Chain A
Amino acid sequence: MDAPPPSPESGAAAIWTRRAALGILGIGAAGVFASSSRRRRTPDGRVRLRYWEKWTGSEGAAVQALVDRFNASQERIFVERLAVADVFSKAMVAIGGGDPPDVVGLFSWNLPAFAEAGALLPLDGFAGAESLTAGHYAPAIERLLTHGGRLWCGVNSCYTLCMYGNAQALREVGLEAPPATIEELDEVGAQLVRRGGDGRIQRAGFLQNVPLWWPYSWPLLFGDQLWSVEEQRFTFESERCRAAFRWISDTAERHGRAASNTFARGFERSMLSAGDPFLTGAVSLTVQGPWMANFARQYHPDLEYVVTPVPVPAAEIDANNPRGMLECDVLCIPRGAPHPDEAFEFVAFMQTTEAQEFLAREHCKPSPLAEVTKEFYVGHPNPFVAVHAAVAQSPAVSVLPETRAWKPFSDLTVAAFDAVWMGGDVDTELSRVQARGQEIADTQAARRKRRGRL
Chain B
Amino acid sequence: MTSRARSQERAGWLFSLPFVLGTLLFLALPVGLAIYTSLTENALIEEPLFIGLENYRELAGDRSFRIALRNTALYAALAVPLNMLVSLGLALLLEQKLRGSSVVRALIFLPVLVPIVAASLGWMWLYHPEYGLFDRVLRAVGLPGVDWLGDKRFALLSLVVMGAWITGSQVLILTASLRGVRRDLLEAARLDGAGAWWRFRAVVLPTIGPALSFNAVVSTIWAAQVFATPLIMTGGGPEQSTKVVSMVMFENAFRYARMGYASSIAWIQFAATLLMALLVLWLGRRFFESEVRG
From known contacts A262-B129, A411-B251, A447-B49, infer whether A404 and B237 are also in contact, taking CB-CB under 8 Å. no
- Is B192 on the interface with A (CB-CB < 8 A)? no
Q: Which of A86, A93, A117, A265 has the most CB of B within 10 A?
A: A265
Q: Please give, as numbers and ranges, the residues of chain A lying within 8 Å of B14 by CB-CB distance.
A: 18
User: Which segment, of A69-77, A367-375, A413-421, faces chain B?
Assistant: A413-421
- Is A400 on the interface with B (CB-CB < 8 A)? no
Bound-state CA distance A418–B152 (Å) is 10
CB–CB B150/A262 < 8 A: yes
CB–CB A412/B64 < 8 A: yes
From known contacts A88-B255, A92-B254, infer whether A418 and B239 are also in contact, taking CB-CB under 8 Å. yes
From known contacts A265-B129, A447-B41, infer whether A408 and B151 are also in contact, taking CB-CB under 8 Å. no
- Is A128 on the interface with B (CB-CB < 8 A)? no
Q: Interface code A231-269, partner B: CB below 8 Å = 1, 0 otherwise? A: 000000000000000000000000000100110011001
- Is A47 on the interface with B (CB-CB < 8 A)? no
For window 120-155 of chain B, which residues contact chain A by CB distance below 8 Å? 124, 128-131, 145, 147, 149-152
Bound-state CA distance A89–B255 (Å) is 7
Bound-state CA distance A92–B258 (Å) is 11
- Is A432 on the interface with B (CB-CB < 8 A)? yes
For window 289-325 of chain A, which residues contact chain B by CB distance below 8 Å? none
- Is B63 on the interface with A (CB-CB < 8 A)? yes
- Is B256 on the interface with A (CB-CB < 8 A)? yes
CB–CB B254/A450 < 8 A: no
Checking B45, B152, B240, B251 against A96 with a beta-carbon cut-off of 8 angstroms, the contacting residue is B45
Q: Which residue of A lies closest to B139 (CB)?
A: A198
Q: Which of B43, B51, B149 has the most CB of A within 10 A?
A: B43
CB–CB B45/A258 < 8 A: no
CB–CB A117/B128 < 8 A: no
For window 21-60 of chain B, which residues contact chain A by CB distance below 8 Å? 41, 43-46, 49, 51, 54, 58
For window 88-122 of chain A, which residues contact chain B by CB distance below 8 Å? 88-89, 92-93, 95-97, 113-114, 117-119
Checking A97, A119, A258, A407 against B147 with a beta-carbon cut-off of 8 angstroms, the contacting residue is A258
Q: Please give, as numbers and ranges, the residues of chain B lying within 8 Å of A86 by CB-CB distance.
A: 254
Bound-state CA distance A404–B256 (Å) is 8
Q: Interface code A392-408, partner B: CB below 8 Å = 1, 0 otherwise? A: 00000000000010011
- Is A195 on the interface with B (CB-CB < 8 A)? no
Q: Interface code B95-117, partner A: CB below 8 Å = 1, 0 otherwise? A: 00000000000000000000000
Please give the distance in Å from B228's CB to the nearest CB on chain A: 15
CB–CB A262/B147 < 8 A: yes
Q: Interface code B46-90, partner A: CB below 8 Å = 1, 0 otherwise? A: 100101001000100111100000000000000000000000000
Q: Which residue of A lies closest to B145 (CB)?
A: A262
Q: Please give, as numbers and ranges, the residues of chain A lying within 8 Å of B240 by CB-CB distance.
A: 415, 418
Checking A93, A114, A443 against B58 with a beta-carbon cut-off of 8 angstroms, the contacting residue is A443
Q: Please give, as numbers and ranges, the residues of chain A lying within 8 Å of B49 by CB-CB distance.
A: 447, 450-451
CB–CB B239/A419 < 8 A: yes
Q: Interface code B247-268, partner A: CB below 8 Å = 1, 0 otherwise? A: 0000111111110000000000
For window 315-339 of chain A, which residues contact chain B by CB distance below 8 Å? 335
Q: Please give, as numbers and ranges, the residues of chain A lying within 8 Å of B41 by CB-CB distance.
A: 447
Q: Please give, as numbers and ranges, the residues of chain B lying within 8 Å of A436 by CB-CB distance.
A: 62-64
Q: Please give, as numbers and ranges, the residues of chain A lying within 8 Å of B44 by CB-CB distance.
A: 92-93, 95-97
- Is A422 on the interface with B (CB-CB < 8 A)? yes
Bound-state CA distance A419–B43 (Å) is 31
Bound-state CA distance A407–B150 (Å) is 23
CB–CB B254/A89 < 8 A: yes
CB–CB B152/A422 < 8 A: yes
- Is B238 on the interface with A (CB-CB < 8 A)? yes
Question: How many B residues face the partner with a CB closer than 8 A?
Answer: 37
By secondary structure, the A interface counts as: helix
From known contacts A92-B45, A92-B254, A418-B237, infer whether A432 and B63 are also in contact, taking CB-CB under 8 Å. yes
Q: Which residue of A lies closest to B54 (CB)?
A: A443
CB–CB B128/A407 < 8 A: no
Bound-state CA distance A447–B48 (Å) is 11
Please give the distance in Å from B247's CB to the nearest CB on chain A: 11
Please give the distance in Å from B194's CB to the nearest CB on chain A: 48
Q: Which residue of A lies closest to B61 (CB)?
A: A439
Bound-state CA distance A390–B159 (Å) is 46
From known contacts A89-B254, A92-B257, A451-B49, infer whether A422 and B238 are also in contact, taking CB-CB under 8 Å. yes
Bound-state CA distance A262–B147 (Å) is 6
CB–CB A119/B45 < 8 A: yes
CB–CB A113/B130 < 8 A: no
Q: Which residue of A lies closest to B135 (CB)?
A: A262
From known contacts A95-B44, A114-B45, infer whether A266 and B128 are also in contact, taking CB-CB under 8 Å. yes
Q: Please give, as numbers and ranges, the residues of chain A lying within 8 Å of B152 by CB-CB distance.
A: 422
Q: Please give, as numbers and ranges, the residues of chain A lying within 8 Å of B253 by CB-CB distance.
A: 89
For window 201-246 of chain B, which residues contact chain A by CB distance below 8 Å? 237-240
Q: Which residue of B lies closest to A412 (CB)?
A: B64
Bound-state CA distance A269–B129 (Å) is 12
Bound-state CA distance A361–B121 (Å) is 34
Bound-state CA distance A407–B257 (Å) is 10
Please give the distance in Å from B240's CB to the nearest CB on chain A: 5
CB–CB A422/B239 < 8 A: yes
Q: Which residue of B lies closest to A435 (CB)?
A: B63
Q: Please give, as numbers and ranges, the residues of chain B lying within 8 Å of A269 by CB-CB distance.
A: 124
Please give the distance in Å from B134's CB to the nearest CB on chain A: 13
CB–CB A117/B129 < 8 A: no
CB–CB B128/A95 < 8 A: no
CB–CB B239/A265 < 8 A: no
Checking B43, B64, B145 against A113 with a beta-carbon cut-off of 8 angstroms, the contacting residue is B43
Bound-state CA distance A264–B252 (Å) is 28
Q: Please give, as numbers and ranges, the residues of chain A lying within 8 Å of B58 by CB-CB distance.
A: 439, 443
Bound-state CA distance A83–B62 (Å) is 36
Please give the distance in Å from B227's CB to the nearest CB on chain A: 15
Bound-state CA distance A414–B64 (Å) is 12
Q: Which residue of B lies closest to A424 (CB)?
A: B239
Please give the distance in Å from B130's CB to the nearest CB on chain A: 4
CB–CB B45/A407 < 8 A: no
CB–CB A118/B237 < 8 A: no
Q: Which residue of B lies closest to A432 (CB)?
A: B63
Sorted nearest first, the 5 A-B pairs with minimum C-beta distance are: A96-B44, A119-B45, A117-B46, A89-B254, A265-B150
Q: List 20 A-B contacts (CB under 8 A).
A: A86-B254, A88-B254, A88-B255, A89-B255, A96-B43, A97-B44, A113-B43, A258-B147, A261-B147, A261-B238, A265-B150, A266-B131, A404-B257, A408-B251, A408-B255, A418-B240, A422-B152, A443-B58, A450-B49, A451-B49
